[in-house]
């Protein structure tokens, strides 16, 4: 039977070696890897421009917004620029213009990758006919069919929308539609205090908007090291954000003059608008997965093995559509790894064990490796080295002294077990420690930071300060 199947497959006339559905980071990583290995590749994108949710609604626009707001806050807090006694104020739509410019630049850049590598870009909605055939429905309603030996699903995710919330109302938004906000709200309720909710709480509060942040969990960003979680909670509150932990909504009602959210505990919150940022759903509902015998779970995600191969041997999936870690950086690597497995006849590679996390709140957060609570639960002994940014000359010069760096290391081997950073440039600073953690042969120890020489003044010298602080605790 298997021999007969191989003969049937060999008789199929393919249009391409591979089809990639989606042009976000995962799709781009797969398409570039396949094309550079000499395969003929088509990518299918349902939107007018490439880049996926990462470029158009997620990572890029929210970080561009955050950068503008952070600069505005620094300007207003700097005594050099506050002689008039009046703070500068920009509306949300005004600062969106900067984000729109960044999106255009990113879109042009990403489109050039496909052109340069001779990848065919087809606009339209893709769905399966069989395991080798895709039907593409174009915007004008016309359809076309294309065939390939391999198909990679990289369709990403979208904000979760419960049926009892009216997202068609002009005062109710999710993390995609918030970018179409046209008015200048004085208050906002943000439901969901994960990464997206916390980032937007920072953005709106930085613009002077009254923010109620409703957290469904007992503590903010509970996956973080407890000390960092406590720090971001303190700074959000200190900046005026009201955080309500352990709350679930019972009803959300919108009218012409605002939105009211009622919690199951009986509390009521009213604001000019509401941002619902509680979870995401994989974009698999229009793919007709049943035609190839695949199913998605309740979150729209598909199962894959360690090579990103689904239960159908020639169909792969990468990025948000497979769930954790749901990071743009990891999605690109997943696409690249899948392409490597496809083109090199089963040669395996895999993601690094310690994937860094960057959270672009104000102040910024980044971490890699284990948290204190994880090490304690696993009964792994560790010591802590800390550096406070307020003691660094570079932070003083930049007037950005909030936060610090924490290194967790084994007291006997001195191996670095985890690094946690909170404050200016945290997502950049973390990569120095990550690079040392990845070293082998005993080179991944905290001693490196003591024995090397850092530029002065820099934020990077926080590693030397933290290392010395931790080593001084040993006995």
Annotated binding site for NAD(+): 192-199, 279
∠ CA 463-465-467, rounded to 5°: 65
What is the gyration radius of the CA atoms in the chain, in angstroms? 24
What secondary structure, in 3-state letters, does 170-199 show?
A: CCEEECCHHHHCCCCCCEEEEECCCHHHHH
∠ CA 165-167-168, rounded to 5°: 130
According to DSSP, the residues that pair with 164 across neighbouring strands are none
How far is it, in rounded angstroms, from Cα 112 to Cα 108? 6
**Segment (H or E) for 409:** strand 403-409
Point out the annotated binding site for FAD: 45-54, 63, 155-157, 320
3-state helix, strand, coil split of the chain in percent (to 5) is 35, 25, 40
Is residue 258 packed enough to be buried (19+ CB in 10 Å), middle (13-18) or exposed (0-12)? middle
Q: Do residues 230 and 258 lie in contact, with contact meaning Cβ atoms separated by under 8 Å?
A: no
**Segment (H or E) for 137:** strand 133-137
Backbone angles phi, psi at 179, to 5 degrees: -75, -5
- Cis before 363? omega within 30: yes
- Of 361, 354, 351, which Cα lies nearest the Cα of 426? 361
Point out the annotated binding site: 45-54, 63, 155-157, 192-199, 279, 320
Residues 6 or more apart in contact with residue 49 via CB below 8 angstroms: 55, 56, 107, 111
Taking phi first (over 0 means left), then psi (-120 to 50 degrees means alpha), and beta for anything else, what does residue 439 get? beta
* CA dihedral sign of residues 102, 105, 107, 110: negative
Burial per residue of 326-345, b for 16 or more beta-carbon CB atoms within 10 angstroms, e otherwise: bbbbbbbbbbbbbbbbbbee
Q: Do residues 198 and 213 lie in contact, with contact meaning Cβ atoms separated by under 8 Å?
A: yes
Q: Do residues 367 and 421 lie in contact, with contact meaning Cβ atoms separated by under 8 Å?
A: yes
Order of all β-strands in the sheet with 383-388? 357-359, 365-369, 416-423, 403-409, 383-388
Q: Do residues 57 and 159 lie in contact, with contact meaning Cβ atoms separated by under 8 Å?
A: no
* Strand intervals (E) in 300-371: 315-317, 357-359, 365-369
């Amino acid at each position: 039977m298997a021999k007969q199947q191989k003969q049937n497959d060999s008789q199929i006339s393919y249009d391409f070696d591979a089809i990639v559905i989606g042009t976000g980071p995962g799709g781009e990583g797969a398409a570039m890897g396949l094309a550079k290995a000499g395969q003929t590749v088509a990518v299918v994108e349902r939107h007018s421009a490439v880049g996926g949710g990462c470029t158009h609604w997620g990572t890029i626009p929210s970080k561009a917004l955050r950068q503008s707001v952070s600069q505005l806050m620094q300007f207003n807090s700097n005594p050099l620029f506050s002689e008039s006694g009046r703070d500068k104020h920009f509306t949300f739509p005004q600062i969106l213009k900067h984000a729109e410019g960044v999106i255009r630049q990113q879109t042009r850049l990403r489109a050039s990758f496909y052109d340069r590598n001779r990848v065919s870009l087809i606009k339209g909605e893709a769905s399966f006919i069989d395991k080798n055939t895709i039907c593409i429905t174009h915007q004008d309603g016309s359809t076309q069919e294309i065939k390939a030996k391999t198909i990679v699903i990289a369709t990403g995710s979208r904000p979760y929308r419960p049926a009892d919330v009216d997202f068609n109302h002009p005062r109710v938004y999710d993390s995609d539609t918030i970018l179409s906000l046209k008015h200048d709200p004085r208050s906002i309720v943000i439901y969901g205090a994960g990464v997206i909710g916390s980032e937007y709480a920072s953005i709106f509060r930085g613009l002077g908007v009254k923010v109620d942040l409703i957290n469904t969990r007992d503590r903010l960003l509970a996956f973080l090291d407890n000390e960092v979680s406590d720090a971001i909670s303190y700074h959000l509150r200190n900046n005026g954000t009201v955080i309500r932990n352990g709350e679930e909504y019972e009803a959300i009602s919108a009218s012409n003059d605002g939105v009211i959210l009622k919690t199951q505990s009986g509390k009521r919150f009213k604001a000019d608008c509401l941002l619902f940022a509680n979870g995401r759903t994989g974009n698999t509902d229009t793919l007709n997965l049943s035609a190839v015998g695949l199913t998605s779970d309740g979150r729209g995600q598909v199962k894959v093995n360690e090579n990103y191969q689904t239960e159908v041997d020639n169909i792969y999936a990468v990025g948000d559509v497979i769930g954790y870690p749901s990071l743009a950086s990891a999605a690109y690597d997943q696409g690249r790894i899948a392409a490597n497995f496809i083109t090199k006849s089963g040669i395996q590679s895999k993601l690094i064990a310690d994937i860094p996390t960057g959270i672009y709140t104000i102040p910024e957060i980044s971490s890699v490796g284990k948290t204190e609570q994880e090490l304690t639960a696993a009964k792994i002994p560790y010591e802590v080295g800390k550096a406070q940014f307020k003691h660094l000359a570079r932070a003083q010069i930049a007037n950005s002294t909030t936060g610090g760096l924490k290194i967790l290391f084994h007291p006997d081997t001195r191996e670095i077990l985890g690094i946690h950073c909170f404050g200016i440039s945290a997502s950049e600073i973390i990569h120095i420690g990550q690079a040392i953690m990845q070293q082998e042969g005993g080179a991944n120890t905290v001693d490196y930071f003591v024995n090397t020489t850092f530029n002065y003044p820099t934020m990077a010298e926080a590693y030397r300060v933290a290392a010395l602080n931790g080593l001084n605790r040993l006995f």
